Amino acid sequence: MKRLIAMGVLLALVLVGVGTTQAQPTRIVVYSALPDLETTMVNREFTKRTGLSVEALSVAAAGTLAARIRAEKDKPRADIFVGGSADFHVPLAREGLLLKYVSPAAVEAKISPAYRDPDGFWHGWYLGALAIIINTDRWDREMAPRRVPKPATWDDFLRPEFRGHFIMPSPITTGGGYIFTAAQIFRLGEDRAWAYLRALNANASQYTPTAPGTITLLARGEGIVGMQWAHEGVGARLAALQPLETIVPPDTAFEIGAVSIIKGGPNSEGAKAYVDFLMSRTPQDINAKFGFRYPVRADVPVPMGATAFEALKFVKYDRAWAIENMARIRERWTREIGR
């Protein structure tokens, strides 16, 4: 009888062990602020490497995804938040919504500490610079005959010729729009920056809720000039043959495109593997070739048609200040600009 009881206990333990093994997650859920193409290609390669399947939700507005993560904080549905500037990841870390993880792959790849959170809550894996985008078809028809010079600086957006013809992403829902707004503060000082933004608003036809939305409208000719990420303009011209010209002005700003692990997500171990994967060459090469974004790895080539990152002239951008004051700046934008 004792032997039978012992065998029963042993069998129960074995069955528990089998059940535990079977219950191990075999997929991760990714919230992506990148377009479907890059998201799909990167996730496909991740699955090949790890065997983990990926369920992805792509929304080209990092602010919208950050709001979703906050709404789901009591029961997180996703494991990974990928894409969008680090400016959107830092507040989530401060609110206790991200899991700390220092990727050994980032250290091994010698990725600059400037592109990694020293506390380990996010890792940068690409860079993007803000630029002036011009619809060349409309320019040649409407501006060139009047001998209007092409905009070469942020101040050129204020020309009266551009009234009703300017488009940019919203600083409320997009990283590009917010970083542009903060860049004007660092370039001009806060009071002069808001005077500039009010004058710019007089020329603006609309502010798009997603970053790609600006490129779509400019490519369709619904605006003549706009502010957007350089990689969006270059990519639309090279990949989709759109009539767009990209000019990176002095005093521009850049984003550190980040990835972070959502605390309490269904598969934290799988999420760590995903972060490690993004530090490798393959995903950064995909992002450079198809998304035209700058990699953070030195051994991945600069995107086709892009100026070397080191050759661009950046405003002195205080990222910590921009993150700390994000809510205040957005509230003032809503109050003063109103759209």
Domain that holds residue 175: 128-254+316-336
**Structure token pair of residue 29:** 């859920």
Lowest mean pLDDT among 142-146, 178-182, 212-216, 312-316: 212-216
Quick one: pLDDT at residue 338? 87
For the residues 310-318, what does the mean pLDDT come to?
A: 96
Per the document, the length of the chain is 339
Asked, for residue 8, whether it belongs to a domain, the answer is: no
pLDDT recorded at residue 63:
87
pLDDT band at 3 (very low <50, low <70, confident <90, very high): low
- Residue 70 confidence (pLDDT) above 50: yes
Q: What's the rounded mean pLDDT across residues 34-44?
A: 95
CA distance 37 to 290: 8
233/325 same-domain check: yes
Same domain, 69 and 212: no
Q: pLDDT-based confidence at 240, cuts 50/70/90? A: confident
Residue 253: pLDDT over 50 = yes
Assess if residue 140 is contained within a domain: yes
For the residues 119-124, what does the mean pLDDT come to? 97
User: Are residues 172 and 137 both part of a single domain?
Assistant: yes
> What is the b/e burial string over 236-266, where b = at least 16 CB atoms within 10 angstroms of the residue's CB?
bbeeeebbbbbbbbebbbbbbbbbbbbbbbb
pTM of the model: 0.87
Return left, alpha or beta for 175; rule: phi > 0 is left, psi -120 to 50 is alpha, else beta: alpha
122 with 218, same domain: the answer is: no
pLDDT over 50 at 6, yes or no:
no
Residue at 9 is within a domain: no
CA atoms within a 13 Å half-sphere pointing along the CA-CB vector of 325: 16
The tally of domains found in the chain comes to: 2
Residues 282 and 250 in one domain: no
**Coil, strand or helix: which one is 304?**
coil
- Asked, for residue 114, whether it belongs to a domain, the answer is yes
Provide the pLDDT confidence category of residue 13 given band limits of 50, 70 and 90: very low
| Mean pLDDT lowest among 1-5, 44-48, 84-88 | 1-5
pLDDT at 18 over 90: no
Q: Are residues 197 and 148 in the same domain?
A: yes
Same domain, 216 and 136: yes
> Does 7 map to a domain?
no
Residues 173 and 266 in one domain: no
In a domain, 49, yes or no: yes
pLDDT higher than 80, residue 329: yes
Q: Is residue 12 part of a domain?
A: no
When pLDDT is cut at 50, 70 and 90, the band that residue 23 belongs to is low
Check whether residue 54 and residue 116 sit in a common domain. yes
Q: Is residue 1 part of a domain?
A: no
Q: What is the mean pLDDT of residues 318-322?
A: 94
| Residue 130 backbone dihedrals phi, psi, to 5 degrees | -75, 150
Same domain, residue pair 120 and 263: yes
pLDDT of 22: 47
The enclosing domain of 79 has a CATH number of: 3.40.190.10
- Residues 181, 293: one domain? no
Strands (E), 86-122: 98-99
User: Could you tell me which residues come within 8 angstroms of residue 335 by beta carbon, excluding any fewer than 6 positions away?
Assistant: none
DSSP β-bridge partners for residue 260? 81
Q: Percent of the chain having pLDDT more than 90?
A: 85
Is 70 exceeded by the pLDDT of residue 8? Answer: no
According to the model, what pLDDT value does residue 20 have?
41
Same domain (yes/no): 30, 112: yes
